[in-house]
Structure 1
Amino acid sequence: AAFYECSCPKCGRPARRETDTMDTFVDSSWYFMRYACPGAPAMVDARVDYWLPVDQYIGGIEHAILHLLYARFWTKVMRDFRLLGFGEPFTRLLTQGMVLNHVYSYQAAGARKRYFNPAEVDTRRGPDGTEVHEVLTADLGTVPVTHEGLGKMSKSEGNGVDPEGLIERFGADTARLFMMFASPPEQTLEWSDEGVQGASRFIRRLWHAVYEHVAAGPAPALQASVLTGAQRELRRAAHQALARATDDIGRRRNFNTAIAAIMELLNAVGRFGDASVQGRAVRQEALRIAVLVLAPIIPHVCHALWQALGSTTALVDERWPAPDATALAQESCEIVVQVNGKLRGRISVAVNADEAAVRAAALADAQVRRFVADKPVRRVIVVPGKLVNVVV
C-alpha cells in the first residue's frame, strides 16, 4: 500500500500508482520458479536452486517461439541480478506435434464462411465417382460443403472432437491409448475414428488374456532354472519388451513404440500354449510386465488388471521394473541366409558360434542347398549375428 498510494507529482492530491505495466508474458516467464519457494519475501529464495532448472519442458510450436523464448530471457535477467545461480530454466525440450482433423466449410455468396464438424458431414459418391460432402443445417437445409483437407484442430474451424462422447462410448483409457499410439509425440497426429476402435480392441485383448489366465487359478512361483526352451523364449520376449519400453518412455519419450513392444509381447503370450506349472508362471510374469508398462498410458484398466493378477498394492505405488539380464541372455540366434543376395533360408546357430561354424550351418541348410545345387561356391560372406550370403 505504501508504494501505490502516493501523491500526484503535479497537483499534490492523493493518487494511486499504476502497477499493471507489464505484459502477462512476464508473469508466465517465471511463475514456475515461485512454485519452488512459495512464501519467499523476495521473488525467489535459496529453494529455487534445489528444485530448478526444470527437468522437462513440453509444449507446442507456439511455446517454442513465445513462452520458451521469454522464459529463457527472463531467467537470464534474474541471473544477472544475482537472484538465480543458473542461466537456463529448462534442461530438456520436447516440442509436441499438432492433432489434425478434416476441415469442411460452406460459403454462400456474400456471406461469411461457415465451418462444420466432420461428424456432421455426410460423404457419398457422385454420379462421376467423385466424393460429395453435404451437411444438413437448421437454416439452409442440406448444403454442399468443401473439404479443405487436414488442419489443426481448432474452435474456429469447428473440427474438434468432443472427448465426453468418446469417453462415454470407449472409456478414457481408450482415448489415451489411441493418442499415444497413433504418432510419436513430436509429430502431427491425424485423428481417426477407426484408430480409436483399434485401440479399444487391443484393450479388450489384454483384458481377455489376463482373465483367461486368472480363471485357471493362482500362478505358481517362477523357477528360472528349470524352464524349457519355449518357456525361456516367452520370458526373453517379456524382458525384451520391458527393456524397449523402458528406453522408449524414459529416454526417447516415444510412447507409440513402447505400446508396440507390448502388443508384440501380447501376441507372443497368445501363441504360448503351455499350461504346465512353470508355463503358467512365465505367462504370469509376462502379463504383469505388460500391465506395468501400460499403466502410465491406460491407468484405470491396468489398475484393475493388476489386482486381478493377484497384487494387493495399488499399481500407482509400484516402482518401474528392471529387465532381468539373465532372461535377456540368448543361447542361439536366427541368421538370414542369402544366395546371390536373395533370401533363401534361415538358420539357428549358437550366439558364440565362430564364422566357420556359421558358414558350415548355412551351406548345410536344405533350402540353401536347393538353390546352390551343383554350382561351385565362389564366396561365403558372414555378417556376425545377422546374415550369411553365399555367392555362386
Structure 2
Amino acid sequence: MMSSDCYERGAGLTQKVLNCAAVSGVNLGDLLLAELIPWIAKREVTLCDLSGALVEPPRDSAKGGVAMTRVDSRLRRMLPRFIKVRMKRYIARRRYSALALQYDEIWIGGGNLLFDVGCDNLALALIAAGAFHKRGKIVKLLSVGVGPFSCNPISALKELQNVAQRVTVRDQDGLKVLNGNGVSASILIDPAWFLGDFLLELHGFRVAPTRETGRFGVNVMRPAALGAVGEYRLWLEEVASNIHAIARLTAKTPVLLLSAFNGDPDVTAEIQGLLSRSNVVAEIKVLPRLSATYEEWLAFFRLDFVVSHRMHVAISALAVGVPCLVFPWQPKIKGVLETVYGDRSNTFLLESERFEANEVLLGLHEQKRFGVELAERLRFAKDFGRAGYENF
C-alpha cells in the first residue's frame, strides 16, 4: 500500500497509526479510499478491515485483491445470523485489544462506516474506537459517511463523542446528523477526490480538456438496492436498451464497470448479454486498485464519459476529469457532490436510474458548458482538503 514519510511527535518518537476501514474487497470503492488516505495525509499507516484483520499487500499488484484472516466461510454459512454477528464482534474485540497495544493511534475512515442497515459497520467502528480509548490511545474518525440507521443511533454516537479526539465527515448531511446528536465534527472531503493527483504523480496522467476515444463507462447496481420498481427482467431490458441508445447517439462503445461484488456482477453480466443480442459488444472491466498497472488505469482514465449507480465509480471518474452522471439512490451521493461543487452538484445527478439517453446527453452538455467553473471548484476543494489530511 502507499505510504510517505512518517509523522513524528515529541522526542523523535514515530507514531504508529492503524487505519480501520471497510476493505473486505466486497466494495472496491471503499478499498480505494483506504489506500489513498496515507498518500494524501503523507503518513505511514497500517491498514486493517473493520473486523480487525490486518490487510496484506497483494502479491500481484496487477490483479489486486485483499488477503486477510477470516472465519472459515463454510462455518459462517452454516451458523444462524445472530450467532455469526456475535462471533464476528467477539473476534473483532480480541483483535482490536491486541492492536491497541501495538499502535499509538487509530483512524476510522473513509467510507460509509457510521451506519448499520444490513451490516454492523457502526458496531465494529465502536469496538475499534473503544479498544484504543481504553488503552489511552488517540482515536480519530476520518471523512466518514453517516447513516442510514436501522434504529435510533443516539447512544452509539454519544459513545463516539466520548472516545474520539477528532471526527470528520464527508458531507453536510452527515455533519447535521452528528451535530444533532451532540457529536462535534467537521467536514473533510472524500479521499477519492484526490485520485487524479495520485495518478498524475505515479503515472503522469494529465486531465485532458476533451476526450474522443470512442468508449464510455457504465456502472450498474442491482435494482432492488436502488429502490427501483417494476419487474426485474423488464428493468434490465430497459437499462440495456437505454445504454444501446446512448451508444448509437454518441457513436461510442460501452464498457461495463464493476466496483462491488454483492450482486452487481450478476446484473452486469445480464446487461452484457442483453447488449450482445443487439450486436453491442460491451466488455466488463473491474475498477482498478490503486496499485494497478499503468495500462489498467489508462483504460479507465481515457473513457469519454461515465454513467453510474455506485458513488465511488462516479467520484473516481470526476477526479480524473472524466465527465460523469450518477443516480443519487442514497442522499450521501448528492451530499458528497455538494461538498465539492456546491449549487452545481445537480449537474452530475440523474433523475432516472435507468440511464435514459436524453437525460444523459443533456447532462453531459451541461457539464461541458460549466466545465471551467466545475474544474475550479474541484481544485479549490482539494486545496482546502489537502491541508486537512496533512494535519489530521
Tell me the TM-score normalized by structure 1: 0.24
Give the structure with the larger helix fraction.
2
Give the structure with the larger strand fraction.
1
Could you say which structure has the greater relative contact order, defined with CA pairs below 8 angstroms and 6 or more residues apart? 2
Select the structure of larger CA radius of gyration: 1
Tell me the TM-score normalized by structure 2: 0.24
